[in-house]
Structure 1
């Protein structure tokens, strides 16, 4: 078990999440999302949508609580917006992945108990308005998804 634990940070994050170790089991997954979806271009880091999404999939495999998946999915969107608001990007795949992650976030949040939804809905609603700052019809796509989910009617 110790060899498995020391073999990689991914293994450590998985075991911490699975065994409920540490005070913030989401932190390593958030760090990975940030690293890949909002890299430090001045340090020569590159963007990788697939590696950012892998962090969420890894959490889902490790523990898979719906509220944790909602938190990581929304965090992904927030980090992507932070990156897009700081850097000019013309990568259609990045924007398409952001729209899909927002849609996934809405689906996950809609599956939560009504009393658990509110904080997530507030964050998702704020993301809709941030869409106007980045172009690529993000605001329109987010609004369309928001109204199709009809979450504000619940």
Structure 2
């Protein structure tokens, strides 16, 4: 006779336990979670708009992850940069803030390749995908809000001229498909 596998606890199980908590117990639990990790602190600060610039800590993570200083043996970590954007998106529903982080990601990636030369196909695919996502978010904004982002996206495209792996062509195609009036 085989052993029964234990069921992995789920959010439903946690929620069932939380229903019995009073306000003080919930606050204590939230405080424990807040102190548990930097990610939880960043999430709370963004969710409740507690910092002057809720994007600052996320931008720092993106900058460090996608434009590392190779001279200091720092490593490129695209997943970490993408994760920072996902965490911000979960913390707060802010299309403009997400667009800012996405454009910043692409600016950092673009600057990285301008600083260190050609990287590899996977790197450019990741940056192009983020450029596409950034454009999608920007197109959801009002025309007035789009203006600054479009200028930055265009600057990224212009500065990438001469970069290999079809990167510049990809940027141009994405930009002009989305903003044909700028052609």
Normalising by the smaller structure, the TM-score range is: over 0.9
Contact 1:110–1:151 (CA under 8 A) maintained in structure 2: no
Separation in 2 of the partners of 1:144 and 1:152? 13
Contact 2:118–2:163 (CA under 8 A) maintained in structure 1: no
Gaps of 5+ in 1: none
Question: How far 1:152 moved relative to its partner?
Answer: 3.6
Post-superposition CA distance 1:86-108 (Å, at most 9, x none) = 11343211110011111111111
**3-state DSSP class of the match of 2:160?**
helix
**3-state DSSP class of the match of 1:24?**
coil
Contact 1:30–1:72 (CA under 8 A) maintained in structure 2: yes
Post-superposition CA distance 1:12-42 (Å, at most 9, x none) = 1110000110100001110111111111212
Further displaced range: 29-38 or 131-140 = 131-140
Separation in 2 of the partners of 1:48 and 1:152? 35
Change beyond 3 A, Cα 1:69–1:26: same
TM score, norm. by length of structure 2: 0.79
Once superposed, what is the RMSD of the aligned Cα atoms? 1.4
Larger Rg: 2
TM score, norm. by length of structure 1: 0.93
Change beyond 3 A, Cα 1:151–1:13: farther
1:65 aligns with 2:99: no
1:30 aligns with 2:63: no
1:135 aligns with 2:161: no
Greater RCO (CA < 8 Å, at least 6 residues apart): 1
Contact 1:36–1:52 (CA under 8 A) maintained in structure 2: yes
Match of 2:122 among 93, 109, 115: 93
Separation in 2 of the partners of 1:33 and 1:152? 31
Match of 1:52 in 2: 81
Question: How far 1:6 moved relative to its partner?
Answer: 1.9
Contact 1:106–1:149 (CA under 8 A) maintained in structure 2: yes
Further displaced range: 24-33 or 133-142 = 133-142
Gaps of 5+ in 2: 1-29
